[in-house]
């Protein structure tokens, strides 16, 4: 009995700490879908032994899950044709269909770009979720469009997107910091249960986010806060719901950065593998000299104008569910400054 009371006390303390760290949006007029807050919704109320027994009695399911993550650079002035829709989205749609992706996670997307992607992929069986990080961005006006008219229509929102085959349910936005550190952007993780063929609904939780860029000053503090808050929040899915968790997006950090320690199981304190960890051509000199088979590295996904190629885009899978995996980068798409990044994992879930 004392052992059970101790475990319950630990769970209660974890819930309190998580709730104080982030804000879970209950209503948001800038999004088109109702928000479901998952705080405490599926945390275990029984002992660890009971949960393990239940899991052992459940038939395991296996599947190969294919994921794409891509930064469209939908409105940035340093990318060609801010606000342009057809070329940007056409490239992505072609890649999604050619790869037959199960989950697609997008960052830096204007609402009208999202709407075009949504309309094209719904016909192919994809569900979709959107979350705005900025209520209005003038550069989201398509070439030749009228900014004032689009603003009046609430059509200049800017944010992130998840798409998945079959269905997306239990949508949730997690605000990753209560302090914007001097910017108008609100950093959020957008999460939903993805109905992956062969695995069933509720077995897979997918999240996309785009933390702040910067390695010094307020930007560096913001990036640290946002990444560590995100990693802490997904523990609810790993340990409370026992779901396969997939994280994607532009993390604005390189594989060796300490801010990614809460994600990587390799040389970190996290519980994830990253799908490009076995690309020996991209290994660091340290991994190569040690003849490592896995490395916190990966092919570049972004070409920095002064610092050169960097890996900033990631696809993480919860490592306890993964049997095998691989990944690769595709060409930089029209009007973007990022490579499309895609990967697969053979997984088992209960």
Quickly list DSSP for 206-266.
EEEE-PPP-SSHHHHHHHHHHHHHHHHHHHIIIIIS--EEEEEEE-SS-TT-GGGTTTBST
Q: What pLDDT does residue 26 have? A: 39
Q: What share of the chain has pLDDT > 70, as a percent?
A: 82
Its sign, for the CA torsion 133, 245, 248, 314, is: positive
In a domain, 260, yes or no: yes
Q: What number is the average pLDDT over the span 331-339?
A: 94
Whether the predicted pLDDT of 35 surpasses 60:
no
pLDDT band at 54 (very low <50, low <70, confident <90, very high): low
Q: Which two tokens stand for residue 103?
A: 């989950």
What dihedral angle (degrees, nearest 10) is formed by the CA atoms of 155, 140, 308, 176? -30
In a domain, 91, yes or no: no
In a domain, 149, yes or no: no
Whether the predicted pLDDT of 227 surpasses 70:
yes
Q: What pLDDT does residue 180 have? A: 65
Whether the predicted pLDDT of 27 surpasses 80:
no
Of residues 7 and 242, more confidently modeled: 242
Whether the predicted pLDDT of 36 surpasses 70:
no
- Residue pLDDT, tens place only, 56-74: 456 889 999 999 999 999 9
Q: Which two tokens stand for residue 34?
A: 């109702």
In a domain, 151, yes or no: no
pTM score, two decimals?
0.84
Q: What pLDDT does residue 32 have? A: 54
**Residues forming a β-bridge with 107:** 71
**Residues forming a β-bridge with 163:** 104, 128
Mean pLDDT score of the chain, rounded to an integer?
A: 86
pLDDT band at 151 (very low <50, low <70, confident <90, very high): very high
- Residue pLDDT, tens place only, 251-310: 999 999 999 999 999 999 999 999 999 999 999 999 999 999 999 999 999 988 888 899
CATH number at residue 304: 3.60.10.10
In a domain, 210, yes or no: yes
| Total domains, the chain | 1
Whether the predicted pLDDT of 120 surpasses 90:
yes
Q: What number is the average pLDDT over the span 92-101?
A: 98
Greatest alpha-carbon span in the chain: 70
In a domain, 287, yes or no: yes
In a domain, 257, yes or no: yes
Other C-beta atoms lying within 10 Å of the C-beta of residue 149: 11
In a domain, 177, yes or no: yes
3-state SS class at 178: coil
In the chain, the N- to C-terminal Cα span, in Å, equals: 28
Q: Which domain covers residue 30, as residue numbers?
A: 2-80+96-110+122-134+159-349
């Amino acid at each position: 009995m004392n052992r059970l009371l101790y475990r319950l006390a630990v769970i209660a303390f974890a819930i309190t700490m998580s709730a104080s760290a982030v804000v879970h949006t209950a209503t948001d007029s800038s999004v088109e879908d109702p928000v479901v807050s998952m705080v405490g919704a599926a945390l275990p109320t029984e002992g660890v032994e009971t949960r393990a027994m239940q899991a052992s009695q459940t038939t395991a399911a296996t599947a190969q899950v294919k994921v794409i993550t891509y930064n469209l650079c939908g409105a940035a002035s340093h990318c060609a044709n801010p606000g342009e829709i057809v070329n940007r989205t056409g490239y992505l749609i072609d890649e999604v269909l050619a790869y037959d992706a199960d989950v697609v996670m997008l960052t830096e997307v204007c609402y009208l770009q999202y709407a075009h992607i949504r309309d094209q992929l719904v016909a192919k069986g994809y569900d979709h979720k959107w979350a705005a990080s900025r209520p209005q961005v003038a550069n989201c006006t398509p070439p030749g469009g009228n900014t004032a008219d689009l603003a009046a229509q609430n059509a200049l929102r800017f944010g992130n997107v998840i798409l998945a085959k079959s269905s997306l349910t239990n949508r949730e936005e997690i605000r990753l910091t209560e302090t914007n550190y001097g910017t108008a952007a609100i950093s959020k993780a957008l999460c939903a249960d993805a109905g992956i063929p062969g695995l069933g609904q509720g077995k897979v939780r997918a999240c996309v986010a785009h933390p702040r860029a910067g390695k010094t000053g307020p930007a560096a503090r913001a990036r640290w806060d946002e990444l560590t808050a995100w990693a802490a929040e997904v523990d609810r899915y790993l340990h409370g719901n026992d779901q396969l968790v997939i994280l994607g997006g532009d993390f604005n950090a390189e594989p060796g950065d300490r801010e990614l320690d809460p994600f990587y199981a390799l040389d970190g304190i996290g519980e994830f593998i990253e799908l490009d960890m076995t690309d020996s051509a991209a290994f660091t000199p340290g991994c190569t000299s040690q003849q490592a088979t896995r490395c916190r590295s990966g092919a570049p996904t972004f070409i920095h104008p002064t610092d050169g190629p960097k890996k900033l885009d990631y696809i993480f899978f919860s490592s306890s569910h993964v049997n095998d995996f691989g990944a690769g980068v595709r060409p930089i798409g029209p009007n973007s400054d990022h490579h499309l990044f895609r990967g697969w994992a053979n997984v088992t879930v209960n």
